[in-house]
């Protein structure tokens, strides 16, 4: 049987934990510098996608998603010596830390906006390939982020962890304290709502 690639469209998947080897985790916990580097390299891409999905808009004006992702990686690194394998995927430990850091960044951004009007917060330098592509990407992100905010907190977190971070249903369940079946059901309902909101009314016109 072919091994799953971690997609979210059905079947058994292993998510990003397929690249987080337990032996590497054990060696990193024991202080092996090469294992630490390998571990951080394995988890950083998913953390970065997660932070961008959760903070792409609100992170501006205070801490960027990249900064928060760096804080998460640093927190994971600094806490490795205290990590205890309790039978859960290591990613559950990582994204519990990530969720706390994102929540901290949200609170800081809200506090910053209460001091400085949003339209006065300086925008970061634009390093996009061009203004047209940047405008299209920004518009798409705002539309998607706006729709996600209409989901429940649990649904939004599940969609972000599954699609942005690439976690399996089992890993998301470990992060959120849910069964994999409950994760898949909540994900299915959230995606159905998103599809409903993004449906073009013109598609429903019958000639």
Domain annotation covers residue 9: no
Segment 16-29, tens digit of pLDDT? 544 578 899 999 99
Q: Name the token pair of 144.
A: 């998607």
What local confidence, expressed as pLDDT, does residue 75 receive? 96
Phi, psi of 78 (to 5 degrees): -70, -25
Domain assignment present for residue 32? The answer is yes
**Is residue 42 one of the residues assigned to a domain?**
yes
Residue 6 in domain: no
Per the prediction, the chain carries an average pLDDT of 75
Domain boundaries, position 95 = 15-118+130-199
Comparing 3-7, 61-65, 166-170, the range with the smallest average pLDDT is 3-7
**Res 115: pLDDT:** 53
CATH code for the domain in which residue 72 is found: 1.10.10.10
205 falls within a domain: no
What single string gives the DSSP state of each residue in the chain? -PPP---SSSS---GGGGGS-HHHHHHHHTT-HHHHHHHHHHHHHHHHHHHHHHHTTTTTTS--HHHHHHHHHHHHHHHGGG----SS-HHHHHHHHHHHHHHHHHHHHHHHHHHS-GGGSPPPP--SS-HHHHHHHHHHHHHHHHHHTTS-HHHHHHHIIIIIS---HHHHHHHHT--HHHHHHHHHHHHHHHHHHH--GGGG---
137 within a domain of the structure (yes/no): yes
| pLDDT at residue 72 is higher than 70 | yes
> How many domains does the chain contain in total?
1
- Is residue 4 situated within a structural domain? no
Q: Is residue 192 part of a domain?
A: yes
């Amino acid at each position: 049987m072919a091994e799953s690639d971690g997609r979210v469209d059905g079947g058994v998947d292993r998510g990003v934990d397929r690249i987080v080897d337990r032996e590497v985790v054990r060696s990193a916990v024991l202080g092996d510098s090469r294992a630490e580097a390998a571990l951080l390299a394995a988890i950083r891409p998913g953390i970065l996608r997660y932070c961008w999905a959760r903070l792409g808009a609100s992170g501006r004006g205070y801490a960027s998603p990249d900064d928060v992702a760096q804080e998460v990686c640093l927190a994971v690194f600094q806490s490795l010596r205290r990590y205890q394998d309790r039978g859960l995927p290591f990613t559950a430990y990582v994204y519990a830390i990530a969720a706390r850091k994102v929540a901290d960044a949200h609170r800081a951004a809200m506090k910053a906006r209460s001091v400085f009007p949003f339209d006065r917060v300086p925008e970061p330098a634009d390093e996009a390939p061009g203004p047209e592509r940047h405008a299209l990407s920004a518009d798409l992100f705002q539309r998607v982020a706006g729709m996600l905010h209409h989901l429940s907190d649990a649904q939004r977190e599940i969609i972000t962890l599954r699609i942005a971070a690439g976690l399996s249903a089992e890993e998301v369940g470990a992060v959120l304290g849910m069964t994999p079946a409950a994760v898949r059901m909540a994900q299915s309902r959230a995606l159905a709502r998103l599809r409903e909101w993004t449906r073009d009314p013109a598609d429903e016109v019958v000639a």
